[in-house]
Amino acid sequence: MSLEKWPKIDVKADRSYPVFLGVSLEELGEFLHLQFEDVEHILIISHQVVADVYLDRLQKGLLDYRVNQIIVPAGEQEKSLERISQLTRAALECETDRKTLVIALGGGVIGDLAGFFASVFMRGIRLIQVPTTLLAQVDSSVGGKVAVNHPLGKNIIGAFYPPLAVWTDFSTLDSLPWEEVENGLAESIKHALIADRSLFEFFENEEERIKEREKSIWSEMVVRSSAVKVNIVSQDEREQGVRALLNLGHSFGHALETEMNYRGVTHGQGVSIGIAAASHLANAKGLMTIAEVDRIKQLLNRFGLPIMIPGQDPRALLERMQADKKNQGGRKILILPKGIGQAVVSRECTDQEILAAWKQVIS
Ligand SMILES: NC(=O)c1ccc[n+]([C@@H]2O[C@H](COP(=O)([O-])OP(=O)(O)OC[C@H]3O[C@@H](n4cnc5c(N)ncnc54)[C@H](O)[C@@H]3O)[C@@H](O)[C@H]2O)c1
């Protein structure tokens, strides 16, 4: 038996780790046997919707281990210190110790929550990410960021805690509702925009087959989009430089999400409108033509992602951007696309310019 049979890309960082793409849940146990001889106890953290459909398949390969599951409710509110405290209690009750391996089976919420739990329980126990949403497969499971929220800020309590491996089974996406697919598409299109022009063209050319969920096209989409993230994180794991580019559309998007109190706009929709606003700003700064702005907006639109939002106050949104984590010394730091397939960090956008960009996406 060898590791060769499973397709993967490696994150090359302080501690490198494999991102397996296109493997099956049932085979994870075999990988663990090969790679980590001293594992005896496995703790799976998931939530009901995912566990109902995928837990049996995962457990089929784990028959040689002592396995416990902790099922938490779904939803962003679960990323809390209270839930970490409850997980700690539940983990101790099933005799979790320093040699236990945690499997995070779910979307970005489970990945962040179980990942943060693994990072602090007994000062850190082993972690495998098994992402089951498109967003988690192309984005959140890779890169080692784990976090919970605080009433004063999203993801404000967290760590860099890379997993031992990411185990991505594309078939888990079969059950994902389209609304959740859109959240992942927004991030995938963002990846294309900042680093891979041919991936952008792939989205333009394969719209129909993506919408029809054609398996080979979805596999290609996840592999190419994950590759962008793997590549960026390998260059800059701790976000000292190039990793910041992954925030394209997010400064605008977060401002919108917080202004709307996280109601009436999903994260993917916020990012999409944010990308449209950042593209207008890039045009004003001479970084892209208006034809390119239109092309980006058209692509987002073709996948059902919004590029305008009605009834918002641009000044209030500008004000919200004041609290962005990336700002330095009161100066707003924004990520702007540079044509299609590149992006830059800009420290020179005036409030006037940002306001003008907001006005372009408010109807
Ligand atoms: N750590 C990072 O680098 C990073 C990056 C981006 C986002 N995030 C975080 O990710 C979170 C969002 O993640 P998400 O979009 O995956 O949301 P999510 O984890 O809440 O999952 C969305 C919904 O899909 C359901 N679901 C999950 N897998 C399913 C499947 N295979 N079939 C059917 N339903 C399924 C879940 O039950 C949930 O209701 C946010 O908390 C965000 O902060 C983290």
- Confidence bin at 1 (pLDDT 50/70/90): low
Distance CA 38, CA 18 (A): 19
Distance CA 47, CA 358 (A): 37
Fold of 178-360: Dehydroquinate synthase-like, alpha domain (1.20.1090)
- Confidence bin at 100 (pLDDT 50/70/90): very high
CB 270 within 8 A of CB 247: no
pLDDT for residue 183 is more than 90: yes
Catalytic residue chosen out of the listed positions 191, 267, 280, 332: 267
Supply the pLDDT for residue 326.
75
Tens digit of each residue's pLDDT (9 = 90 or more) over 248-295: 999 999 999 999 999 999 999 999 999 999 999 999 999 999 999 999
CB 308 within 8 A of CB 353: no
Nearest to 189 by CA among 243, 242, 248: 248
What percent of the chain is modeled with pLDDT above 70?
100
Candidates 71, 119, 127, 140: which one to mutate for ligand 1, based on the most atoms within 8 Å of Cβ? 140
Distance CA 154, CA 248 (A): 17
- Confidence bin at 3 (pLDDT 50/70/90): confident
Residues 157-173: what's their mean pLDDT?
A: 98
Instruction: Name residue, tokens 């080692």.
Output: 144
Fold of 3-175: Rossmann fold (3.40.50)
Tens digit of each residue's pLDDT (9 = 90 or more) over 12-37: 999 999 999 999 999 999 999 999 99
Give distance in angstroms: CA of 320 to centre of ligand 1: 24
Catalytic residue chosen out of the listed positions 126, 190, 224, 250: 250
pLDDT for residue 99 is more than 70: yes
**β-strands 41-47, 17-21 pairing:** unpaired
pLDDT for residue 333 is more than 80: yes
Residue type, 299: L
Catalytic residue chosen out of the listed positions 187, 237, 257, 259: 187
pLDDT for residue 324 is more than 90: no
Query: Is 207 considered catalytic here?
Result: no
- Confidence bin at 2 (pLDDT 50/70/90): confident
Q: Which residues contact 206 (CB under 8 A, 6 or more apart)?
A: 217, 221
Looking from the CA of residue 76, the nearest atom of ligand 1 is 41
Give distance in angstroms: CA of 135 to centre of ligand 1: 6
Supply the pLDDT for residue 117.
98
Domain with CATH 3.40.50.1970 in the chain: 3-175
pLDDT for residue 179 is more than 80: yes
Tens digit of each residue's pLDDT (9 = 90 or more) over 219-259: 999 999 999 999 999 999 999 999 999 999 999 999 999 99
Residues 126-137: what's their mean pLDDT?
A: 98
Question: How far, CA to CA in Å, does 101 sit from each of 26, 40, 117, 243, 349?
Answer: 17, 8, 12, 28, 46
User: How far out from the chain centre does Cα 97 lie?
Assistant: 29
Nearest to 135 by CA among 74, 184, 190, 189: 184
Query: Is 41 considered catalytic here?
Result: no
Supply the pLDDT for residue 102.
98
Residues 130-146: what's their mean pLDDT?
A: 98
Tell me the average pLDDT of the chain.
96
CB 106 within 8 A of CB 44: no
Query: Is 254 considered catalytic here?
Result: yes
Instruction: Find residue 73's DSSP bridge partners.
Output: none
Ligand 1 surroundings by CB, under 6 angstroms? 47, 49-50, 74, 76, 79, 106-110, 112, 132-133, 135-136, 139-140, 143, 145, 155, 172, 175-176, 180, 183
Give distance in angstroms: CA of 30 to centre of ligand 1: 26
Q: Which residues contact 40 (CB under 8 A, 6 or more apart)?
A: 65, 66, 99
Residues 95-121: what's their mean pLDDT?
A: 98
Query: Is 187 considered catalytic here?
Result: yes
Nearest to 94 by CA among 51, 48, 42, 54: 42
Q: Which residues contact 135 (CB under 8 A, 6 or more apart)?
A: 107, 108, 180, 183, 184, 187, 267, 268
- Confidence bin at 60 (pLDDT 50/70/90): very high
Looking from the CA of residue 134, the nearest atom of ligand 1 is 16
- Confidence bin at 309 (pLDDT 50/70/90): very high
Give distance in angstroms: CA of 347 to centre of ligand 1: 31
Give distance in angstroms: CA of 254 to centre of ligand 1: 16
Catalytic residue chosen out of the listed positions 229, 280, 297, 332: 229
Residues 316-335: what's their mean pLDDT?
A: 86
Binding residues: 108-112, 132-133, 145, 154, 187, 250, 267
User: How far out from the chain centre does Cα 335 lie?
Assistant: 17
Domain with CATH 1.20.1090.10 in the chain: 178-360
pLDDT for residue 325 is more than 90: no
Supply the pLDDT for residue 165.
98
Residue type, 182: E
Residue 322 — left, alpha, or beta (φ > 0 → left; ψ -120 to 50 → alpha)? alpha
Residue type, 188: S
Supply the pLDDT for residue 209.
98
Structure token digits, residue 67: 């396995």
